[in-house]
Amino acid sequence: MEPSQLKIKSYELPTVIKHGVGALGALGEETARLGIRRPLVVTDKGMVATGHVDRAASLLKAHGLEPAVFDGVVGNPSIHHVARGSEAYRDHRADGMVAIGGGSSMDTAKAIGVEVAHGGKILDYEYGHTPLSRRIPPLVCVPTTSGTGSEVTLWSVITDPTRQIKFNVGGPLIGPHVALIDPLLAVGLPPHLTAFTGMDALSHAVECFTCAYAQPFTDAVALLAMEYVGKSLRVAFANGQDVDARYTMAMAAMLAGLAYGSESAGAVHAMAQSFGGGFDVHHGYLTGIMLAPCSEYNLLGNPGKYARIAVALGEDVRGLPTLEAARRGVAAMAALTRDLEFPPFCDFTGARPADIPRLAKLAEADPQTVGNPRLIDARGYEKIYARLMGG
């Protein structure tokens, strides 16, 4: 028996998932059903400009609810944005939340939920510190980017500017109560963001499928998420108006989010999160660009699973030895980032080879290093960073 089978595993999903074209129309009803009367709408200014927030507020008011909008979320939100959101929650005397946007808005809402339910600061509840003991207030998540899957994950990722890292807070108590997934909300997403967020979804599926925490349920959802990305991400990038492709990508992101379960990912997220704490770069760009080089490093740790990834991404591996099929899977990931026109790493991030030793140490210290399919330390991360920077 494999050592991984000797550990008891569990899967807990606290989230009701409603999805489909026009699903946003159920927002008032779903929010009211949770007993919320005074929702705080957690979002960012860009989302307000799209008109989606006004529409959401109207839907809430139509059910007799009294919403207030907190639009202070930014990309890579910090502990300070969370603190401001908690203040807005208390000022409004809110009794629940509606998060509209990408992972930043949903993760901020979860973190606000932790602060208002427990008192104290979100930093107190960093993974490995004080465990969460209370359920967050009712939360409806409305994703708009088809990437993070945060609408169903049990994690919130927040930046600590002092340490220049992102840290995780999580567990079943933080899971959203309702995920309302409407592909029409992603129709206006520009191609580069479609590419970044879609590759983030793929990285969740690949990492959770191959890491030490994988189990039959997470394997099942991860494989379908990969198939959906293989089938639809290029189409959504090329024609953002294609509602079928948008819906398939929305489902890919949700399924990949479910692949997380209550565990974490691996080297891609260890690198992306430790890097993203110091460089203000889109998380999906980082995970997307890091996915193939990390997988190239990792595939020796579990060639059979990387071979299945190749099949899920549409590669014909019939007759190939397992290791060769696994390499096809990695090549398929790299081909995706090329087709999606990912800019080169140093140009886009501003990182330089001189930064590698420091970045590698930060990645090694990230808790997500532990589940990686191939044992990895700072030396391993240095190799991957060198590949990313053209070495």
Binding site for Fe ion (CB under 5 A): 200, 287
Q: What is the nearest approach in angstroms of Fe ion to the Cβ of residue 203? A: 6
Q: Which is nearer to Fe ion, 203 or 232 (CB)?
A: 203
Answer for the pair 333, 313: CB distance below 8 angstroms, yes or no: yes
Q: Which is nearer to Fe ion, 71 or 207 (CB)?
A: 207
Q: What is the nearest approach in angstroms of Fe ion to the Cβ of residue 366? A: 13
Write b or e for each residue in 349-367: b if 16 or more Cβ atoms lie within 10 A of its Cβ, otherwise e.
bebeeebbeebbebbbebe
Q: What is the nearest approach in angstroms of Fe ion to the Cβ of residue 114? A: 19
Q: Which is nearer to Fe ion, 67 or 288 (CB)?
A: 288
Q: What is the nearest approach in angstroms of Fe ion to the Cβ of residue 188? A: 22
Q: Which is nearer to Fe ion, 265 or 312 (CB)?
A: 265
Q: What is the nearest approach in angstroms of Fe ion to the Cβ of residue 272? A: 7
Task: For 206-233, give the DSSP string.
Answer: HHHHHSTT--HHHHHHHHHHHHHHHHHH
CA 230 – CA 29 distance, rounded (Å): 35
> In the complex, which residue's CB is closest to Fe ion?
200
Q: Which is nearer to Fe ion, 204 or 328 (CB)?
A: 204
Q: Which is nearer to Fe ion, 31 or 145 (CB)?
A: 145
Q: What is the nearest approach in angstroms of Fe ion to the Cβ of residue 204? A: 6
CA 63 – CA 349 distance, rounded (Å): 45
Q: Could you report how far apart the first and last alpha carbons of the chain are, in Å?
A: 39
Q: Which is nearer to Fe ion, 76 or 287 (CB)?
A: 287
Q: What is the nearest approach in angstroms of Fe ion to the Cβ of residue 262? A: 16
309: left (phi over 0), alpha (psi -120 to 50) or beta: alpha
Distant-in-sequence, close-in-space partners of 380: CB < 8 Å, separation ≥ 6: 267, 297, 374
CA 174 – CA 312 distance, rounded (Å): 31
Answer for the pair 384, 377: CB distance below 8 angstroms, yes or no: no
